[in-house]
Structure 1
Amino acid sequence: MSAKTRVPTAINGGPYGQAWSAKADCLQSVTGLILGIFLLFHMHFEASILLGKETFFHMVQFLEGSMFSSTDHGFPIVTKIISVIMLVIVAVHAATALRRFPTQLGQWRAMRGFMSSIKHKDTQLWFWQMITGFLLFFLVSAHLATMILNPEIGPHLSAERVYHDNAWLLYVVFLPIVLFHGIVGLYRVILKWGVSSNRPLIRTIAHVLIVYLLCLGTLSLVTYINIGMELVLPVQPFIPN
């Protein structure tokens, strides 16, 4: 005769039960989608440096609202506000994702055993997304904190940050991790919410995007380093002809 185990009501449907879990799951997907789309735009925005200093300068001014300025210069506070908003979204995304993390040694062992016995590609992607997500909580926070404290962006000022302030050390680690996590996250959201059921096609697109953005980001980073090497301290902001 088996004994019955009484489960508290809160676990069945209270604030920490199934109702909250469904809301947190939805919130995790929404914030992840926002971050993933932002990543795609941000990578191409940064890559405008490949088209020259003037192109990047005018891109920055436009995104910072130069059309609302009498001097045709943008407002750096826009970058600071966007950075604060993205930091909040990152915090919400991380908080909702943490509930999926194994918290006990036995859970880690069970998960590793399952992954060893059943070679499931999506399970392996989820595992590495969990690891990269943990790392990104610190890497993204460091990147956004820099932009909040020093929101000045420009061909020379950004190159100074990358080269003379040694931010390239952060970005070399940051770039592959954020690309893997972001693109795999978009892949999982597409499948999870039924946007497409063609798993092989979506996985192939995700692989191509990761390679493409990694090449694009690497070229951009090398360009910033090369510009930074040519700068003389103290660095003067870039002024277009």
Structure 2
Amino acid sequence: APAGWIGIAGDIDDLRGRQERQQHLMEQLQHQLRNTLAVVRSIARRTAESATNLQDLAAHLDGRIGALARVQAAVTRFPGRGADLQGLIDEELLASHVRQSSRLQVAGPPVRLKGKAAEALGLAIHELVTNALEHGALFRPDGRITVSWSVDAAGPDGRLHFVWEELSGGSPQPGPEGFGMLQLKRGLVYELRAEVAVDFRADGIRCDLHIPLSAGIVPDDDASGEADEAGPAGSAS
């Protein structure tokens, strides 16, 4: 009889433990859902504020929500590890029907982005690709883009240095700050404590991002090879 009571008590403790873990997971899911809905709401509001017509609103809203969905899929693909930076760039280029070629070079060490870092930087990359297609280097037949990043992990203030540089042969001028520029100049600063510099040059644009590794950025020597999971990129548009 005592052994039976001990067994019952053990089963109850095990059941209680599973219920507590399930409750914790539900709370995490609800928190993540609230955060995602808040981001979608912000995207919709800012897109509406900067849209010039209904067609422009629909196209940009669809693109931004699609970019957010791709980031979320990349983050949940390897729970606990985060999204591969190279993979985020490749998937965004694939979604925009742009392929790497002599006009587009992407290179950098394996880096993983967790949580807000993946979300904020993924949306910023989407805006840079969209701007290049509509107004920048990918809009011009002789335009070129170089995307590179490096990691300085020395000391407690390690940083990721991300560079997006366009040579378009034109003379881009800064226009009104729409969602894309706000995401670069304000979103990354607020979400990731990034230092952002956007330089409009005579022959193109250069965007420099310095993001502290403490914002959720993890150098990962084992991440090489996983960036190709999205498959080959599509043909250039």
Scaled by the length of structure 1, the TM-score of the pair is: 0.24
Scaled by the length of structure 2, the TM-score of the pair is: 0.24
Q: Report the structure, 1 or 2, having the larger helix content.
A: 1
Indicate the structure whose relative CO is greater, using CA pairs within 8 Å and at least 6 residues apart: 1
Q: Report the structure, 1 or 2, having the larger strand content.
A: 2
